[in-house]
Amino acid sequence: MNIFVLLAIIAALVAIQVVGTRFVKLNRLAWMAIWWIALYLALSFGIDPPLPTTIIALFMAIVTLALLAYLSADSEELETAKNTIVSFMTERKYMVPLLIAVVAIPLLVAFKVYSDMTQPPQPPASGRTIHPPPPASINFEGNTINLATANNPYRDLEESDPEAFAQHNANGRRIYFENCFYCHGDNMEGSGMFAHGYDPLPANFNDPTTISQLQESYLFWRIAKGAPGLPGESTPWASAMPAWENFLTEEEIWDVIIFLYEFTGYEPRAQGMPH
Partner 1 sequence: MTINRRSPVLRAACIAFLAFIVLILTGEVAFGAPQEAPGDGDYRTMPFVGSRVFMWVVAELHLMFAAFVLAVPMFALVIEYIGYKTGDKRFDELAYDFTKLLSVSFSFTATLGALLTFGLIILYPALTDYLVKIFSWTFLPYVLLFFFEAIFLYSYYYGWGKFSPRVHLFLGLMLNIVGTAIMFIANAWLTFMNTPNGIDELGNLTSVWDAINNYIWMPINIHRLIANVAFGGAIGAAYGAYKFLGAKTDQERAHYDWMGYIGNFIAICALLPLPFAGYWLGVEIYAYDQSLGITLMGGTFSWLFIIQAVLIGNLFLAANYYLWLSMGRIAGAERYRRFIKYLLALITICFIVWATPHSLVATVEEARAMGGSHHPILNVLGVMSAKNTAVNLLILTTYVSFLLYRRANKEATVSWAKMGNLIQFSIFAVVVIFVVFLGVYGYFVDAQTRIGLSQPQVMSVLFAMVAVTVIDIFLFKNARKRGEIAWGKIPGRAQYALFFLAITFTWLMGLMGYVRAGMRQHWHVYGVIRDTSVDAYTPTLGFAGLVVSVTVIIFFLFLAIVFFLSGLSGKKNWAPKSPPPPEATTTEPLPDAEPATEPEKEPEVAGLPNPLASLLRFIRKKS
Q: Would the CA dihedral through 184, 185, 187, 191 be positive or negative?
A: negative
CA gap 107, 257 in Å, rounded: 57
Sole window of 13-21, 102-110, 156-164, 214-222 interacting with partner 1 (rule: CB under 8 A): 214-222
> Which is closer to partner 1, CB of 41 or CB of 51?
51
- Does 69 interact with partner 1 (rule: CB under 8 A)? yes
Helix (H, G, I), strand (E, B) or coil at 16: helix
116 near partner 1 (CB under 8 A): no
Q: Which of 128, 139, 193, 247 binds partner 1 (CB under 8 A)?
A: 128
- Restricting to residues 137-156, name those near partner 1 by CB under 8 A: 147-148
Q: How far apart are CA 263 and CA 275, in angstroms?
A: 33
Segment contacting partner 1 by CB under 8 A, of 43-51, 84-92, 100-108, 248-256:
43-51
Using the minimum distance from each CB to partner 1, give the nearer residue, 127 or 142.
127
Is residue 217 a contact residue for partner 1 (CB under 8 A)? yes
DSSP string, 31-100: HHHHHHHHHHHHHHHSSSSPPPHHHHHHHHHHHHHHHHHHHHTSHHHHHHHHHHHHHHHH-GGGHHHHHH
Binding range to partner 1, per CB under 8 A, among 71-79, 87-95, 109-117, 152-160:
71-79
What is the per-residue burial (b if ≥16 Cβ within 10 Å, else e) of 245-262?
Answer: beebeeebbbbbbbbbbb
User: Does residue number 199 form part of the binding site for partner 1 (CB under 8 A)?
Assistant: yes
138 to 143, 245, 274: CA distances (angstroms): 8, 11, 25
Chain residues that interact with partner 1, rule: CB under 8 A: 1, 47, 49-55, 58-59, 62-63, 65-66, 69-70, 72-75, 122-136, 147-148, 190-191, 199-201, 203-204, 207-209, 212-215, 217-218, 232-234, 266-275
